[in-house]
Amino acid sequence: MIKRIVFLAFIFVLFLACNREVKEPSIDLPTGWELLEVPSSASLRGLSALTSEIVWATGSNGTWLLTSDGGSSWTSGVIAGLDSVDFRDVEAISATTAIAVSAGQPAVVYKTVDGGNTWQLKYEGPEAAFLDGVSFYSDQKGYIIGDPIDGKWMVLETIDGGENWTWLETSPRAEDGEGSFAASGSTIIATKDYLLFSSGGTLSKVYYSENGGRKWKEKKTPIIQGEPSQGIFSLSRMNDQNVIGVGGDYLQPDLAERNVITTNLLSEAWSVPSGSLPSGHRSGVAYFPRYHWAIAVGPNGSDYSKDGGANWVRFSDEGFHAVVMDKAQGTVWASGSEGRIARLAY
């Protein structure tokens, strides 16, 4: 009888514990950036976070960096001895494997499978090539966008984890004055359902494919454009259909005019929000679904939106080149000049 009473009491306490409402502290806004100690002074534009612990970065002077403990310690080096090459994007595949993409000449793609100890050349473009960014949607399938050559965009595809790259014959045609910015390696989005990339300069458009780059639609956007320094600098998915883009004019870092656009891909129409805009040129944007925040960074500071890009609030004077959410969707990271890497604080 006593054992039965004790058992029932245990069940009752367990029931109360399971049904007790646990209230987490309310978090309304990001509070700034936690700057980390990094063994580099390079300009870091390539940034890819696999988890809250595993983060890769690349930049000027052939620099690569890797942390596997959330930024407490870093390993670093020079990719294949190329200390004059600017690697402006990187794709994290694992704690040992990453793809690094250069901007300018030589236009090269390197891969490491041993945590950065060695790097192997996997693609080299023609003399006129300029690569802008890379995006993978699985460990095996990924794309790179490069500026047009002879009026044709460079859309490179891999189906074997970056071992081999093919310039798609079906890459779309570009208009005079169009290019894509390599400011943060984020003018391209690859998903299982679609491939999207943006242009800037005298024209700023979005190119969209639903079948892996075999057929394309192109849409003009209302973001500021018309000069080589203007247009879309970064794209980010908010969900399966909604996408946000940021940019501006990198020669006018404080210009807050038509520097963000949003769309629902079903409508195929891009618009400038009618509310408050980011407080200057923005070279990177990332969406953080945990709190429904869009985070935008640029040379003069950082802004966030909690309503899908309709309104923006400045939350930090720290300037960065790139911002990403980790692939596990738990943390947001930023990278910038003079070897700066930071984690979003809130």
Three-state secondary structure of 166-188:
EECCCCCECCCCEECCCCCCCCE
Question: What does the domain layout of the chain look like in residue ranges?
Answer: 34-345
The number of angstroms, rounded, from the C-alpha of 88 to the middle of its chain's C-alpha atoms is 11
117 burial class (0-12, 13-18, 19+ CB within 10 angstroms)?
A: exposed
Q: pLDDT 10s per residue in the chain (346 long)?
A: 444 444 444 444 444 444 444 445 679 899 999 999 999 999 999 999 999 999 999 999 999 999 999 999 999 999 999 999 999 999 999 999 999 999 999 999 999 999 999 999 999 999 999 999 999 999 999 999 999 999 999 999 999 999 999 999 999 999 999 999 999 999 999 999 999 999 999 999 999 999 999 999 999 999 999 999 999 999 999 999 999 999 999 999 999 999 999 999 988 899 999 999 999 999 999 999 999 999 999 999 999 999 999 999 999 999 999 999 999 999 999 999 999 999 999 9
Report the C-alpha gap between 56 and 204 in whole angstroms.
29
Q: Angle 61-142-294 (CA atoms, 0-180°, nearest 5)?
A: 75
- What pLDDT score was predicted for residue 78? 98
Q: Can you give the three-state secondary structure of 251-319, one letter per residue?
A: CCCCCCCCCEEEEECCCCEEECCCCCCCCCCCCEEEEECCCCEEEEEECCEEEEECCCCCCCEEEECCC
- What pLDDT score was predicted for residue 26? 77
CATH superfamily, region 34-345:
YVTN repeat-like/Quinoprotein amine dehydrogenase (2.130.10.10)
Specify which residues 33 forms β-bridges with: 344
Q: What share of the chain is helix, strand, coil (3-state, %, to 5)?
A: 5, 45, 50
φ, ψ dihedrals at 75, nearest 5°: -105, 150
- Kindly report the pTM of this predicted structure: 0.92
Instruction: Specify the 3-state DSSP secondary structure of 96.
Output: coil
φ, ψ dihedrals at 3, nearest 5°: -60, -35
Encoding tokens for residue 66? Answer: 């890797």
φ, ψ dihedrals at 325, nearest 5°: -100, 145
Integer CA distances (angstroms), 9 to 14, 15, 17, in order? 9, 10, 12
- Asked if 208 contacts 201 with a C-beta cutoff of 8 angstroms, the reply is no
Specify which residues 345 forms β-bridges with: 32
